[in-house]
Amino acid sequence: MSISRKRLEEIQNIPDADIDTSDIPELDDRFWETAKMVMPISKKAVSIRLDSDILDWFKGQGKGYQSVINNVLRSYVNHQQKNL
């Protein structure tokens, strides 16, 4: 389910002073002692044959449909790897 463009605009227009961050803990030196650098996974352009109805459904989800397809595939791979 996607957030409507109108709601995103409403959120973007909230002044920083009106955002309650009291439940977010401060990052202290202890946090940074165990923090790890995480580099993004590079992506490769590929050509893949998909059923037209499957591709149409993903495209119908809006902008970023290729990333959604990638996330679905990643979820499947992660699940399969856990079950090995």
Q: What are phi and psi of 18, to 5 degrees?
A: -90, 0
Concatenated DSSP letters for 31-58?
HHHH----PPPP---------HHHHHHH
Predicted pLDDT of residue 27 = 87
Predicted pLDDT of residue 2 = 62
| Domain extents in the chain | 51-84
Task: Kindly tell me if the per-residue pLDDT of 15 is higher than 90.
Answer: yes
Q: What are phi and psi of 49, to 5 degrees?
A: -95, 120
Predicted pLDDT of residue 1 = 47
Give the pLDDT confidence of 62-77 residue by residue, as tens digits: 999 999 999 999 999 9
Q: In sequence order, what are the residues at sequence separation of 6 or more whose Cβ sits closer than 8 angstroms to the Cβ of residue 43?
A: 70
Put simply, whether the predicted model's pTM sits higher than 0.75 gets the answer: no
Tokens 């590929």 — which residue? 46
Q: How far apart are CA 6 and CA 3, in angstroms?
A: 8
Give the pLDDT confidence of 16-57 residue by residue, as tens digits: 999 999 999 888 888 889 999 888 889 999 999 999 999 999
